[in-house]
Structure 1
Amino acid sequence: MCTKGREPDQAMSPGLEQVRRVSPDAALQALLTGTGAAVGPEFFRALVRQVAEVFRVTSAVVGERKPGQDTLHPLAVWSQGDFREEQPLALTGTAFEQVLTQGVFHCQEAVDTHFSEDGWLRRLGPGGFLGMALRSSRGEVLGALALLHDAPLEVGPPDLALLGAFASRLVAELERLQAQAGMEQARDFLRKVLNSIQDPLFVKDRAHRWIVANDAFCRFMNHPEAELLGKSDYDFVPSHEADVFWRQDELVFGSGQPNENEESITDSAGLTHTLVTKKAVFTGADGQPYLVAVIRDITEYTRLETQLRLADRMVAVGTMASGIAHEINNPMAYVSANLSFLREQLSQEDVTELDLVELREVVAEAIEGAGRVRSIVEDLKGFTRSDEKRLGPVELPQVIDSAQRLVRHQLQTRARLVHALEPVPPVFGNAARLGQVLVNLLVNAVQSFSVRDPERNLIRISSRTNGAAQVVVEVEDNGRGMEPEVLKRLFSPFFTTKPVGEGTGLGLAISHAIIESMGGQIEVRSTPGRGSTFRLVLPVFSEGVPPVGQGA
């Protein structure tokens, strides 16, 4: 007799001998002590053995049904006093299908005659059978626990209750394993996502130690992940660089605000890399703050950018070449003439006191002319120098003077320059790079004029403070001006309105990048036929406090 989905009859069938069970107290004690310390496969093996001994049956089986499959996978099989290996069981037409469908299925005897295709029954216990479905806390069927006996198997309500206790313990372990598998899948998925990111990425804990590092970061550091995790910057880079990284990380930890800055790092070969690092802080499940960072190695980009800026300066020097030559030739002409006159006079034997006064004046003029040449050469050296990395205090009046001396010849022949320069504090930046911007703006202003009386062409350069933290420099002209369509593309690389051969289209794009790299802004307003005004907003230099966006 087989029963499905209900408690079996308590009355014994004629001729059937009830199997003697251990006491309920002993059974529960066995459940607690036999499976308390085990997990995973060992847990299932310990439990089926305990079940078989408690119910004193030939075999006990626990199997798992995986989602979407019509198969029962054995987790542990105890039979005839030993563990056995069984292949997965196709459920259709089996006693285990009845267990999973009905929840509880009991057949007192000759169970194999009802399920002739069930291979597990023939091998493990063809007599009595009792099975109970393992349901999760959400009602999902996770598998089955079954008792198989080679003799009739009579059970009552206490037996079902006891089997239910074992089943509950099984469900708890299966749900734990499912949660663990889910976590491992999520961890594996996250790992694949992180490793698919081509930029180096890492996560640090509050002690500034790496706890996550993707493959790109490991390659960048030239160390495997196992050597990086749990360590800090101080274990791999020079201490002065690690100090910078620590301060930048601490700034993000302390403020809770994202940060982007430029940093330098020396690799194991002694080569210095320039990095742009984006950092943000988040709170983990444990309530502790963590810092995530993505870094980009811009060493090659910076090198090319430096070369491009220098090339643009050479283009500007080429544009100013005739004017510079004129500025040098003029003083050199009278230096040469005065020296020739001096030589002639000194060759005479009767040099009078009056002659000596005149000779002193000639020497003074020659020295003055040589000084003008030296000044022009110094301006050119400052304009073309390549100390791009050094950022610090810049005296703006000196930069303005140097820039206008370099374009003085063009200004003298094409326009009239006026000043409105107020006293301003030093700004944060690089003198050569800032000079490059001002030369570009002055040359563009000169080239904006049509052929007309130079006295009508006006260029105005002004400077003033804008609050306590900014200095404003403006270069204004009353030239042709620009249409709105031109203004939209003005700072785009290679965009130019000049004829072929007169411009590269890089000057303003590079100027824009230079000013932003110093933490400033460049703005322009223009009216067709009335001229243009370029406005530089520069941060005031403050010792130890770089402008927003600048690294330490």
Structure 2
Amino acid sequence: MSKDESGTERIQDAVVLLDILDNLPTSIFAKDENLRFVYSNEAHCSIIGHPESTLLGQSDADFYPAAEAAAFIARDREVIEEGATIECEEVATGASGISIPVLTRKTRLVTPDGKRYLIGTNANMTEVRKREEQYRALAQTVPVGVWQVDETGTTTFANPRFMAYLGIDTDDLPQTDIASLLGGARQDFPGIASRFETDLASPASGERRVLVISSGWLSLTSDGLRSAIVSVVDISEMTQLKRVNDEISRLNNELAGNMKKLKEAQDEVLRRGRMAQLGQLTATVAHEIRNPLGAVRTAAFLLDRKLKDKGLGVEQQLLRIANGITRCDNIISQLLDFSRTRSLQAEETALDEWMSRIVAEEAERLPAAVTIECEFGLADITAMIDGARMCRVVSNLLSNASEAMVGKGDDPSKFTTGTPHILVSTRATSRGAEIIVKDNGPGMTPEILSKVLEPLFTTKNFGTGLGLPAVEKILQDHHGGLEIVSAPGEGATITAWFPLRQPVSDAA
């Protein structure tokens, strides 16, 4: 293939990728380190209300109202300068003047040449807000006083019956110490789940006996602020107090449960949507890149054969090409591991014997400075596993442990620990087989540990952020899971576990 033909093919690949991004239903945009747009797909353009040709080279301050733009830019600057990944709800006002709620996720991308970019997505939350309004409309009609308050003491919802019990209106809510009116001297109200009776007096209805039930603090929103739901029922004229107590308790629990289920359902819909789109995109990109990469590999092999022993001094350059091809192929494998959905090709496998062989093969690929110790405890236990995919699990865990301690090579100046050491062990537990990889590297902070399984999150300047998510997905396909324990200065211990027998539908 000529140079012109190769360049044309790369241009065509780029056009295909951009066409995929432009047609995704999720808003996607990219900004340079000066926070000016360098890319905007059609979904993002529709939110702002301007075509990409108008957006490119401009910033949020050129399109959004001043207050909105200032908030966007402040969060963007945190992402670019500190490498933070931010997920939050925002309100975006388009060119038409219509404001819509969006769930925004922003992260930093650093290219090999050191340039920093902000990559972001938006998901329209309009339908979610509509469902919340429907719930609030329902709560307005229930025969119970309902009050929702957050940890700051701010009332976020109060239905008409509740305000009638207190003898106040909406304007009085900010100035009224509702917690003291209902809870009296109780210091833990409404933050602790509780149930009690009290006397409540109002100018309109006089004194009445009420039953107060608090759910305690619940995580009902995505902003991290907890809320309590308090139910109030007038029991002054009721003769069957026990029946009323039981019924109100049921209603309160059902109300709190439904709100929590609504939040979980909303979060799951958003997560599945993001994961499905990311999976489709990674699979497409991986397949599109692997074919031209094969041509590059073949060409490099032929060049190596023709130039061998010619004394042209290009051996180092050819080695770099070969290493680059290997790295790209590993990235493609991670992309496919993360996105593929094919059923397991499970076979009966003697685990310790299999582990001994896989660890020995992988050890040859690690830097010589890293020592590996094995403590296998499964004896003759066998399991139904997909050997090829499970091999990716072991390979990734070993390479992650090695790179945490010595980076990509044997340069002592880059070591994070004096004597890099990995302990690989196996054991049988009540949940099945466990493979444990423990290193004596620098460990992880709680913040990094909380994000390490998020797709595209990485602390390496050479990583993709898909290694551990792909490992977790392979283990989940085996009906198992991944557990990570780490602290700064104490290394990391990663446990991969899976049952010894897979369901028939997966093992067939």
Scaled to the shorter chain, the TM-score interval is 0.3 to 0.5
Structure number, greater radius of gyration? 1
- The TM-score with structure 1 as length reference comes to 0.33
